[in-house]
Structure 1
Amino acid sequence: MGSTNGYDALLVVSFGGPEKPGDVMPFLENVVRGRGVPRERLLEVEAHYQGFGGVSPINRQCRDLIAALDVDVPVYWGNRNWHPFLEDTVRRMTQDGVRKAAAFVTAAYSSYSSCRQYLDDIARARAAVPGAPEIVKLRHYYDHPGFVAAMADHTREALARLPEGVRDDARLVFTAHSIPVSMARTAGPTGGAYEAQLRTAAALVTEQVDPGRSWDLVWQSRSGPPHVPWLEPDVCDHLEALHGEGVPAAVLVPVGFVSDHMEVVYDLDVEAAATADKLGMPLTRAATAGVHPRFVSMVRELLEEPEPAPCAATCCPAPVRPARQE
């Protein structure tokens, strides 16, 4: 095993998710705190979770990833929005004598919610714990060969599940979480990194799967108020457009996610699947990277890379929220 650059622990940092029905509303309130989301919207999203027993797959997938990791340092796990909370984990790391940890975040791209907000979470947790260890966030990995190989394998498996008669002309439809346009335009040091990185990842996956195949990048899981512009087109609208163009089938590839959670299983496996069924369009969905062996080994490889330079304080700023138009 290679060098771990002086790290004496690996910290997996994730979004978190409910694990029983009674967790759902407190979890959602944590997610939207300070954002003024109407109660009606929370109740609507709560129903999505309750339709799956009040359990998000994301915590189980974090546990599975941690169990699969083969690294020379102890592995800790802390979440932004649900147990185990990041601050509690940093306190335990401090009690265990950890001095310097690498943080692997379960988000591969640059944007406020997938980068800067996690940096802020880490800083806030460290500030709350006297003597907290140094924590270095590992780099973005959207173009890492391990992530690309995992998504390519899962895409090939999804293609193989389509009926043979439509397989050759099926469209690859890469999906990612929509974000406000204002956030997308300020996602990195030069702006616009989020969408550009997603397009890079989609192109790399397609190159491994079938270089000549057509693909699209679309968006899912919009949650903002109607007067705020978000990235489009929505995946369900896009499936309808593809059907109108005569595209015979599609494979949804959730390249914007590294593990299943409610946005994947509800927005794709329920809503998008219902849209395709209504259209009579054969549709399959590729798995997320999850615990694919190449994705798991990628975490170790990131840990062994030279320590990344810290992000600039101006990187991935919070979105500018326009005033409501009456």
Structure 2
Amino acid sequence: MSEALDPTPYDALLLLSFGGPEGPDDVVPFLENVTRGRGIPKERLKEVGQHYFLFGGVSPINDQNRTFLDALRKDFAEHGLDLPVYWGNRNWAPYLTDTLRDLVRDGRRRVLTLATSAYASYSGCRQYREDLAAALATLRAEGQETPRVDKLRHYFNHPGFVRPVIDGVLESLADLPEEVRDGAHLAFTTHSIPTAAADTSGPAETHGDGGAYVRQHLDVARVVADAVRAETGVDRPWQLVYQSRSGAPHIPWLEPDICDHLEERHAAGAPAVVMVPIGFVSDHMEVLYDLDTEAAAKAAELGLPVRRSATVGADPRFAAAVRDLVLERAARESGRGATPCALGALGPSHDLCPVGCCPARTPKPAAAGADSPYP
């Protein structure tokens, strides 16, 4: 194996995702896992689960992860990267703790983790690290040797993530009626989070006024909008908007909501809107319901032509980006030189989450960071 394709010191890659129900009987137990510790009644969970029941009680995220696993394994094999890929979820089978047991059983001792969340935030990064720490604690309590687990840097601005987004926007624009195409606005969407969580996202020096979460999304949106302008010759209005809000109504969350934004754009005379879900790696439930169902219904009510561009999903360029990220991290860990790829103004993200990065309201141990209890 050439040095360029040497994953040393890592002997496995772990795809770490959210998980989702795979049938009607799974919906409430899945939501109980997601909301554990919050004291939400089962009847309320059944109400929340209606989004899943509309789709037969099945979230698409697990099948999308299976497809992405195939894409990763195919890319690694075609490029001579000998690194097995495992998969574990936070909230549904295959559960993270079970997957870590499999890794230990197979003799894996140095694991690199790819989370299916591209940006900095508590729910998108530190909570995954907390779940890793909890799973490692379980293995340690069982008397098993715990592997060292590191986490790949945020990949929101890697070319292999951004270029498929650009192409998705171009395809959506081409699908609009010609008479509204050049006037179409771009609405870049991501998951709304409490403003307090946004303000403290990323390292401490980035805290305040949306923190790293908002800055990273804005930077990617600007790169995509600039590329679309360069390739179409049209300078389109664009805005970062939010979706999928949950939680108590008195707590401030990031706004505007995509449906409110569509109403505002229609009132302002926009002839069409392309919704660009840059905050999501794949077309999971929050994309299918909040954009393809709810926002699409709002646009139809308004008589506003809309298109929703594709998420990155299992695009081969994204799989290649993961290979690049793995080799980049492996080279640095081994003392070899590595030049990270990143588009936009922010540059490549940190390898190791520093102390104070995306803090939780209630502090918990978190693995794969500067404050990890697991060396």
Range class of TM-score, shorter chain: over 0.9
Distance (whole Å) between structure 2 residues aligned to residue 32 and residue 109 of structure 1: 22
- The structural deviation recorded for 1:39 is 4.5
Structure 2 SS opposite 1:188: coil
1:24 maps to 27
**Residue from 314, 319, 323 that aligns with 1:300:** 323
Distance (whole Å) between structure 1 residues aligned to residue 256 and residue 238 of structure 2: 14
Distance (whole Å) between structure 2 residues aligned to residue 311 and residue 20 of structure 1: 36
Structure 2 SS opposite 1:34: coil
- The structural deviation recorded for 1:293 is 1.6
**Residue from 73, 84, 91 that aligns with 1:74:** 84
- The structural deviation recorded for 1:244 is 0.4
Structure 1 regions of 5+ residues with no counterpart? 321-326
2:274 maps to 251
TM-score (norm 1): 0.95
1:14-163 matches, within 5 Å, as 14-37=17-40, 39=42, 41-69=44-72, 70-71=75-76, 72-129=82-139, 130-163=144-177
- Mapped contact 1:186–1:319 kept (Cα < 8 A): no
CA RMSD of aligned residues (A): 1.4
Distance (whole Å) between structure 2 residues aligned to residue 150 and residue 316 of structure 1: 28
- The structural deviation recorded for 1:41 is 4.1
**Residue from 238, 252, 267 that aligns with 1:229:** 252
Identity of aligned residues (%): 58
Structure 2 regions of 5+ residues with no counterpart? 77-81, 334-349, 363-375
Distance 1:158 1:41, change over 3 A: farther
- Mapped contact 2:60–2:283 kept (Cα < 8 A): yes
Distance (whole Å) between structure 1 residues aligned to residue 44 and residue 270 of structure 2: 34
1:158-177 matches, within 5 Å, as 158-177=172-191
Structure 1 SS opposite 2:49: helix
Structure 1 SS opposite 2:216: helix
Distance 1:314 1:147, change over 3 A: same
- Mapped contact 2:19–2:93 kept (Cα < 8 A): yes
1:193 maps to 212
- The structural deviation recorded for 1:84 is 0.3
Distance (whole Å) between structure 1 residues aligned to residue 36 and residue 327 of structure 2: 36
1:199-210 matches, within 5 Å, as 199-210=218-229
- Mapped contact 1:170–1:250 kept (Cα < 8 A): yes
Deviation per residue, 1:180-223 (Å, 9 max, x gap) = 01100000112100011011111111122225222110000000
- The structural deviation recorded for 1:38 is 5.1
- Mapped contact 1:183–1:319 kept (Cα < 8 A): no
Distance 1:7 1:216, change over 3 A: same
How many residue pairs get matched? 320
